[in-house]
Amino acid sequence: MQLFYQRFNVQEYLLFTLLGITALILLANFIGPQIADDISNGISIILSGIVTVLSFFMVLKYGVKGNHGKAWILFMLFSAYWFCAEIVDIIYNVVLGIEPWEYADDFFYITGYQLFFAFLVFYLRPFVKQISKKILVGTSIISIFLLIPSLFMIIDSDPDFEKENFLVLLAYPVLDSIILIPALIGVVLFFKGGVNFMMSLFCLGIITQIIGDNSILFLSLQNLYYPGHLVEILLLWTYTLFSFGMSRQIGLFRENADKRSFSLC
């Protein structure tokens, strides 16, 4: 009963944080685009830093052995790469006041996507017997349906794209569609009781990231996107979900340690 009560509190705090971020970005956009960009950048760097620090604690807990140990090393690297991407954006946009050097942040984001996919594979490997062909086929179909319209938007958008720009732009929806498969599988396993609350938040977090990525792609190709746009709320939710997932898991570690200490007294 006590564990359920604490878990319910975590959900309340998570909901409050998500709504607070949403309200803050809405207010910033009401004031002006520049304020919205500054607020969004500030929240991004703080949250991505928190995710990186928490992932380091998870590596210390699990070590380097086993599927989960390897998975957390990959997640720590992923979070470090995305934190570096946020720093690059801050340096160029806020400190220097210019557009980021071409592909500077894309390198960190794209590499991070690959590391996160590897993390999901290693983390879900112990549950492979619970993943039926029906689940695998269903999630793959959903992923393909997401990828096809994004590809058409990119191909039809501008025939004068340089090859490098085209490949970078193409990389995001392709990687999104690949990562979406294990993320959806994780959500299905959570409802079946296969994975824990933390992993469900991770999977929901990357799904919000994917929705945000594709929304930004669509808005950019229509010349409607600007830094600090409301759609960036989804990207900030991703970091928030990651943070709360790991915080909850670290809390469980402490609870179990306290119980063991009490039983030895």
Examine the pLDDT at 10 and tell me if it is beyond 80.
no
Runs of H (alpha helix) within the chain = 2-31, 33-62, 66-90, 104-124, 133-157, 163-191, 197-221, 232-264
Q: Would 62 be classed as within a structural domain? A: yes
Q: Which two tokens stand for residue 173?
A: 């929806």
Q: Would 42 be classed as within a structural domain? A: yes
Q: Which residue has the tokens 């498969």?
A: 181
What DSSP state is assigned to residue 98?
S
Q: Would 245 be classed as within a structural domain? A: yes
Q: Are 139 and 204 in contact (CB under 8 A)?
A: no
Average pLDDT over residues 12-26: 93
Distance between CA atoms of 263 and 255, rounded to whole angstroms?
12
Q: Which residue has the higher pLDDT, 181 or 154?
A: 181
* CA distances for 183 relative to 26, 44, 129, angstroms: 28, 22, 17
Average pLDDT over residues 205-234: 90
Say how far residue 162 (Cα) sits from the centre of its chain.
Answer: 29
Q: Would 233 be classed as within a structural domain? A: yes
Rg (CA), the chain: 19
Tally of helices (H runs) and strands (E runs) in the chain: 8, 0
Q: Would 264 be classed as within a structural domain? A: no
> How long is the chain?
265
* Per-residue model confidence (pLDDT) at position 183: 92
CA atoms within 13 A on the CB side of 76: 18
Its pTM stands at 0.87
Domain around 163: 2-256
Average pLDDT over residues 231-240: 96
Examine the pLDDT at 3 and tell me if it is beyond 90.
no
Give the chain's largest Cα–Cα span: 73
Examine the pLDDT at 45 and tell me if it is beyond 80.
yes
- Number of domains composing the chain: 1
Q: Which two tokens stand for residue 158?
A: 């501008």
Average pLDDT over residues 14-36: 93
Average pLDDT over residues 177-204: 87
* CA distances for 177 relative to 71, 141, 180, 214, angstroms: 20, 10, 5, 10
What DSSP state is assigned to residue 95?
I
pLDDT tens across 56-80, in order?
999 988 887 788 889 999 999 999 9
What is the pLDDT confidence band of residue 16, given thresholds at 50, 70 and 90?
very high
Q: Would 34 be classed as within a structural domain? A: yes
pLDDT tens across 97-156, in order?
655 555 678 889 999 999 999 999 998 888 888 888 899 999 999 999 988 888 888 877
Distance between CA atoms of 34 and 36, rounded to whole angstroms?
5
* Per-residue model confidence (pLDDT) at position 255: 53
